[in-house]
Amino acid sequence: MKFLSKNMDKQISEYQQELIETHYREVDNMYRKMRGWRHDYRNHIQTMKAYAAAQDWKAICNYLDLLDEDLTTVDTVVKTGNPMTDAILNSKISLAHSKNITVHADADIPVKLKTSEIDLCCIIGNLFDNAIEASEKLPEEERMIRVYMDMKNTQLYISFTNFTAGKKLERVGGVFRTTKGKGHGFGLARIDAIVERLGGYISRNSEDGAFTTEILLPQK
């Protein structure tokens, strides 16, 4: 049993490292796009000045429409007040949009968090990945993820909700059964381990075609 426990800890640790590296690559890619757009900003201005000098107003309008469409792919969607949270949320929102998943995010963190960036990255990243994968199983018009984060007195409150395929998920031994492949169970175990270590609270609920995870993390 001791050997199995150590083996499981090793697998979870390896999965955590892989997850963090994946999240940071996503975040880095998002900011590379933002830096690239800013680098081209002067060229965009010069192009529109040329159209203006020629009084080609239709060309300017078309160009502005193209810029507006391009900017939506790199714009920061959520500004929580916490840089790491902004980075991971926006990278995952961008990923969800690329899969035609609607995301409603309301996140406000006005205080400096005691929770480490690595722990926060693992929790939010896992929750978002799980919600995205579940949403992909639905018709595009039914895909939706709700994210809510705020301070409840001295605790950080995190809530993720996604629609499911119209049926209530089953619990096995008090734990929701996973139908996903390798890695998913480690993700859930990692979230649970972090919340327990931080003295927090986690609740998962499957009702009315939706799956919700709620987490409270003390910040004292």
Taking only the tens place, the pLDDT of each residue in 149-204 is 999 988 999 999 999 876 555 554 444 444 444 444 567 888 999 999 999 999 99
Mean per-residue pLDDT for 71-77? 57
Q: Strand 210-218 to strand 175-176: parallel, antiparallel, or no bridges (unpaired)? A: unpaired
DSSP string, 110-175: -S--SS-HHHHHHHHHHHHHHHHHHHTTS-GGG-EEEEEEEEETTEEEEEEEEE-SSSPPPEETTE
Check pLDDT > 90 for residue 11. no
Q: How many CB atoms lie within 10 A of CB 160?
A: 22
Q: Is 58 inside a domain boundary? A: no
Amino acid, res. 208: D
Write down the pLDDT at residue 156: 94
Q: Which domain holds residue 126?
A: 77-218
Tell me which DSSP letter residue 108 carries. Answer: -
38: helix, strand or coil: helix
Q: Is 173 inside a domain boundary? A: yes
Q: How many domains does the chain have?
A: 1
What is the overall mean pLDDT for the chain? 78
Q: Is 153 inside a domain boundary? A: yes
CA-to-CA distance for 23 and 45, rounded, in angstroms?
A: 34
Q: Higher model confidence: residue 114 or residue 28?
A: 114
Q: Is 51 inside a domain boundary? A: no
Write down the pLDDT at residue 132: 92
Q: Is 7 inside a domain boundary? A: no
Q: Which residues pair with 175 in a beta bridge?
A: 172
Q: Is 214 inside a domain boundary? A: yes
Q: Is 175 inside a domain boundary? A: yes
Pick the most confident of 18-22, 25-29, 189-193.
Answer: 189-193
Check pLDDT > 80 for residue 99. yes
Is this prediction's pTM over 0.75?
no
The CATH number of the domain holding residue 164 is: 3.30.565.10
